[in-house]
Amino acid sequence: MTAKQKRMISILIPAYNEEEALPLLYERLTGVIDTLEDYEFEILVVNDGSSDGTLEVLRRLREQDPRVCYVNLSRNYGKETAMTCGMDYARGDALIIMDADLQHPPEKIPEMVHYWECGYDDVYARRMNRKNESKLKAWCAETFYRMLQRSTKVNIYPNVGDFRLLDRRCVNAIRQLRENQRYTKGMYSWIGYHKKEILFEVGDRVAGTSKWSFRGLWGLALEGLTSFSTAPLRLAAWLGGVVSAFAFLYLIIILIKALAVGDPVAGYPSMMCVILFIGGIQLICLGIIGEYLGRVFNESKRRPLYFVDEYNGIKERNEPGEAYSKEPRNQ
Ligand code: UDP
Ligand code: MG
């Protein structure tokens, strides 16, 4: 087989302040991909506005090994956007997404590639353990996924993250979804195609610290809920209906009471309770509507998702949806 006929696999790594982890990742990753001789590889790192020496590390790695390419974003946009940028620049027939901190073991790559060759388009890795997360975080994640799944028709897979192999047609599909506020996990299942699950054990972060804060996770949770479901809006309407029904009942009771026995000016506490209760519900519902309105506002600006400071690789970015040379495969 000549080099030209080899199919290419891109490894996409979003990196934010990962100067210590990247060299370790490079060593372990190349140890694995060097054994897969039937494929050409591209290691595409998206530097998401790091403030440490990540960019210098990438420059050095690229000089050492031309398989390493990198995109330097103009600022920190967050992992979701960094991944989208990576999808725009990746050249491979397949794309494997993994974290820079080696929590996603590169040793799983041959298995992913095997299933890709079997005809699967999206080989996703499910975590077997959440042991290195606090109990609270694990509980929150579980509850959130259960809620999300109940509120939407799109399949949400618990314990599945971004560690996965995507065929070119999945990549091209996701690239056409250009919303600004992104919830990639929902997109993977929304686009469909043939999926295959494999299992992996989450490793410990090799260096640096996790960039997620509790606030960040809360934001992501809201993002997930509002980008894939309008159930909260329906809930607001439902709540409104129930409260009005009770209010109406109460009104009748008061009327009858006033007619039958007359009403001395009592009832201040009950009136306050009702006013405060209904006021609270109104505010909650307004908040829900506001959340969706905010999304509409943000999307209506139609801004580009990101700006690139520098790209050091082989090919310029392709427009979303543009097909590559790959022939359709027989399933
Ligand atoms: N990351 C990124 N931009 C950010 C935050 C994180 O590109 O704003 C990258 C980070 O470098 C890592 C991956 O996303 O490769 C996962 O981040 P992290 O390990 O901090 O998250 P956790 O594993 O704790 O969920
Ligand atoms: Mg991590």
Q: Cβ atoms within 10 A of the Cβ of 269, count?
A: 8
At 46 the three-state DSSP class reads strand
Residues with CB under 6 A from ligand 1: 14-16, 18, 48, 76, 78-79, 82, 99-101, 103, 205, 210-212
**Residue 81 has which token pair?**
């956007």
| Alpha-carbon torsion (179, 185, 186, 189), positive or negative | positive
pLDDT digits (tens, 9 = 90+) for 100-132: 988 899 999 999 999 999 999 999 999 887 666
| CA–CA separation, 99 and 208 (whole Å) | 13
Position 256 scores a pLDDT of 85
| CA–CA separation, 65 and 57 (whole Å) | 12
| CA–CA separation, 261 and 249 (whole Å) | 18
Residue 36 in this model has a pLDDT that exceeds 60:
yes
**Candidate from 57, 73, 81, 211 with most ligand 1 atoms within 8 A of CB, to mutate:** 211
**Candidate from 17, 70, 79, 220 with most ligand 1 atoms within 8 A of CB, to mutate:** 79
Closest ligand 1 atom to Cα of 209:
20
| CA–CA separation, 100 and 12 (whole Å) | 9
Q: Let me know: does 167 contact 193? Beta carbons within 8 Å.
A: yes
Comparing 28 with 254, which gets the higher pLDDT? 28
- Give the whole-number percent of the chain exceeding pLDDT 70: 91
> Which residues does 263 contact at the CB level (< 8 Å), separation at least 6?
254, 257
Distance 76 CA to ligand 1 centre (A): 11
Position 326 scores a pLDDT of 36
Of all protein residues, the one whose alpha carbon is nearest to atom 19 of ligand 1 is 210
Position 294 scores a pLDDT of 85
pLDDT digits (tens, 9 = 90+) for 181-205: 888 888 998 998 999 999 888 877 7
pLDDT digits (tens, 9 = 90+) for 144-182: 788 888 877 788 788 888 999 999 999 999 999 988 888
Comparing 284 with 68, which gets the higher pLDDT? 68
Q: Let me know: does 42 contact 9? Beta carbons within 8 Å.
A: yes
Of all protein residues, the one whose alpha carbon is nearest to atom 24 of ligand 1 is 210
Distance 210 CA to ligand 2 centre (A): 5
Residue 329 in this model has a pLDDT that exceeds 60:
no
Characterize the bridge pairing of strands 39-47 and 68-73: parallel
